[in-house]
Every structure is written in structure tokens, then in C-alpha cells.
Chains A and B, each alone.
Chain A
């Protein structure tokens, strides 16, 4: 579904790579947490999956397509298979909940009939029925994130990328959002979530990929935020002492 082959990403003007020789495979239907300190490369990985950036070296395959080979003209069509959720929701403040979700479908050319069927369905699924005509500023943070999730999944993408979706929310609301993401995952959508929230990672016991200084230092199924199992030994990974946070 998603495969990173020895991917390195160096941003212009910096010597230290944001991602350093990362290889990773995510299978269809998986739920993956990406954990690590700020600047460890989580967001860079998500940007690369979205093809918002190109890797400096290495190749990335998403949904069977080599991202290095997708022409920039085709990128918009590729992105229609992905849903994205951010920490800051990114809703349009002058549009209602319904219009925010419908906007996604309008701009990719869906018919009015389809929109009027799909949007109420997805709003009910995220638990926002009855709030379709509210504006974002009339909603709580948790509700706004539900709108953002509704917008991300209304087009039934095969992959949902979430960049710290609970970063601005209190623990109870966060758990509500996580329940929603688990349900989306249970319906067959692959979910990749970057997070700092140890409580969530520990409770869900899913696959955890930990990044330190742009390298994958742990890839553990059913893991917690901090490793509890005996770490998998990967002889190919050697971390310089200076890069391990104390």
C-alpha cells in the first residue's frame, strides 16, 4: 500500500537530513502510529506520501504508483485517493459544516445529487448529524476535527493520513476522535497517524513506528509510546549517540 525504499530527504539549506535512509512498508488496512520528537521526520514522511515534496533519494510507492514517476499534472488525481487531517483542522471559516465537506466533492467535479447523498451520510458517521448548517466557529474543537475527518473521508479514500489530529484537543475529546479513526480503519481504510500523545498510543496497542533524527529506530506491532517489548534488533540501523534524545 505504502512503501518507502531507502528514502532520504534533505531540505534545501540544511545539512542534516529530515529523513535518513528510511525503509518502511505499510500494508492495506493497517493502523500505524508514527511517534517521535518534534523534528524527527514524522511530518516529512506524511508530506512525501502526499507528494507535496520529492525525496532527495530513494523511491516511494503509494497505491502501486511510483511517486517519482507521477507527472505533476497527475498529482491532483493521485491525491483523490488520500484523505488528510491536520492538528489545526484547516476548515473554511466562511462555509457551513455541510459546505466545507461538500467543497471537497465539488472541486473534484462530483454531481449535486452525489454530494447531497454522500455529505449527510458522512456527517452522520462522524457524529455531526443536525449540525450541518453550523459554521466552524460555532463548534467545539472536537467537533471541528470531526468535520475535518468527514471532509477527509467523504470521497472514500483508501489511505487516511492524520498529522497530530488530537494535538489541540483534551484527552476525553481525543479518545472520541480515536474511536472515530478506529471505526474508519475497521471499514478498510489504512490509517497513518503522527502523534505525540503517549496515552493514545499506549491504549490502542497498534503498530508503532518511532523516528529519531530522521531514522526509524523502532517498528513494533502492538507497541506503546515507549517501548515495553524487547526491541527488534535491526543490525542495519546504527544511531550515533548524539542523536538519541536524553
Chain B
């Protein structure tokens, strides 16, 4: 009996200010799509980080006849100097941190370079003499590259010690920045959505102020007066959340899996299972946001 009454009140409220309800649906739709995208972007960054960081190596570059940085003085590293570095890598102080290492001479470096820049004009300008000899080191824990740098940087014949992660960090910084931008926009939109829901509920309450006045007069409990409005807000916001969830799943399905994965087959991307994990989050955020802002909005009408 009372449930039917509450639901009929909800239906009445939704029908009475349809245009406001549509705007609530659209704003929650857009804002939660941003939220979902930001979450997936973070997931993507984490996934790529763990993939690439595990493969990132530390390069110990040796001096060439042309280099002037580090300990170099336009003198190529001698075989003794190279052996001294290897001895350091094998020493009890560094060995526990090192998983594996190998030496790359000028010829190998040249071949790798040619393979990497195949078809690029720069490939034809490079000769083996220009390439740098290096030790490529895989660390047990990729975050500890500083130890290696501190130990080897000052040695004679060492030009530089470079952690490849520093190149990756730039890429991740860009991706992070874009994900924070998405979160920022999402936050702004969520504020707009919350205010819009509150306004919609106030309007709805205003258009029913006669009923509300009589309800209060005859002793309807606050919960009874409140519930239809809260449900009204939650229904509108949930519609928007469902649309947003659909949009996020569609983006992953058609753009990420359908387009990006085809174009960049070596990279692993977020999949449908990640998208489906985001869906309940979006529905939850939408419903909670609406419930809280509708509750706050209607409280003004309940003061006795």
C-alpha cells in the first residue's frame, strides 16, 4: 500500500519535470563517462608500467673518441677500463642487485640501430664507429638503478649510466597528466551533476508543496516525505550511470580493442574485463551522488 503510494509519487515527480530529469540524466552520463575513462586510463598506465618497467634495463655507456661528458676526454674506453667495469658488476657489492648483464660492442649496437630505424633516413648516416659500447644490465629490482649509477659513474672510461625508465617516465608523465585532466573534468562535472540533482529535487518539491504541507500537517513521517524525492533523484542518476557504463564498455570494445590493439599489436591494452569492473563503480557513484544530494535538497522542506 505505502510502497505503491511512494512509487506513484516518484512517477508523478519524474513526469512533472521531465526536462530537468533529462538534463540530470545527461549530466550524470557525461560526468560518469569521464570518471570511467579516467579509471581505465589509470589501469592502462599501471598495466603498461609493470610491463615496461620489468623490461627496462640500465645501460652503462663507455667513452668513444668523440665524447667529452663523464670521465671521457675524447678517448675511447680501453679494454682494461671495460674489464674494470665488469669486475665491478661481478663484485659482491653489486652482484646481489643484478639479475643479468651483457656486453654490446659497436657492431651489435650498429645492427640494433639499423633494425630499429629501418627505413628512416638517419639509418644511412650512421656507421659502426659512431656507436657506443655498453653493458646492458637487468636489475633484480628495476627501481634500484641509482645504486648502479653511483657505483659506476665515476669509473674511468664510463660515459654515462642511463636507466631506460627515465625515458618511460616521460611517457607515463604525459599519460598521467591526461588521466588527471580526465579526473579533474570528471570532478567538476560531478559537482555540476550534484547541484543539478539538488535543483531538480527542489523544483519537484516546490511543485508539490501543497501535498508536502498537508503531509507535514497530518503527521507524515520525514522518511515518508523524503523517500519519493530521493528515489526520484536516484532513478534519474542511475539512468545516466547506465548510459555512462554503456559508453565506457563501448569505448573499450570498439576503440581500444577494435582499433588501438590492431594498430599497436605489441602493447597490451585494458580489456573488456577491466571495463566490466568499472561498471559497478559508475552505478554506485551515480546512485550515491544522487541519494546524498537529493537528501540534502529535500531536508529544507522537512524542517518543523
Contact = CB atoms under 8 A, between A and B. Distances in A.
Interface of A: 50-52, 72-73, 75-80, 84, 90, 92-93, 103-104, 106-109, 111-112, 151, 155
Interface string B190-225: 000000000000000000001101111111111010
Interface of B is mostly: helix
A108 B220 contact: yes
Interface residues of B, number: 18
A201 B11 CA distance: 47
A62 B214 CA distance: 21
B5 interface: yes
Given A51-B304, A72-B304, A75-B304, A108 B219 contact: yes
A80 B222 contact: no
Contacts of A104: 214, 218
B300 interface: no
A52 B216 CA distance: 10
A80 B224 CA distance: 14
Interface of B: 1-2, 5, 210-211, 213-222, 224, 303-304
B217 A107 contact: no
B52 to A, nearest CB: 58
Given A106-B2, A109-B2, A111-B1, A76 B220 contact: yes
7 contacts: A75-B304, A76-B219, A76-B222, A77-B219, A80-B218, A92-B211, A107-B5
A57 B224 CA distance: 32
Contacts of A93: 210
Top 4 A-B pairs ranked by shortest CB distance? A80-B219, A107-B220, A79-B219, A104-B218
Contacts of A90: 210, 213-214, 217
Contacts of A79: 216-219
Contacts of B5: 106-107
B82 to A, nearest CB: 83
A111 B1 CA distance: 7
Given A72-B304, A75-B304, A107 B215 contact: yes
B221 A76 contact: yes
Contacts of B216: 76, 79
Contacts of A107: 5, 215, 218-220, 224
Given A79-B219, A106-B5, A109-B2, A52 B304 contact: yes
A58 B108 CA distance: 98
A54 to B, nearest CB: 10
Contacts of B214: 90, 92, 103-104
Given A50-B217, A104-B218, A107-B218, 4 more contacts: A92-B210, A106-B1, A106-B5, A107-B215
A166 B81 CA distance: 112
A108 B222 contact: no
Contacts of A103: 211, 214
A236 to B, nearest CB: 32
Contacts of A51: 304
A13 B216 CA distance: 26
Contacts of A109: 2, 224
B304 A155 contact: no
A84 B217 contact: yes
B210 A78 contact: no
Contact of B222 (A50, A73, A112, A151): A73
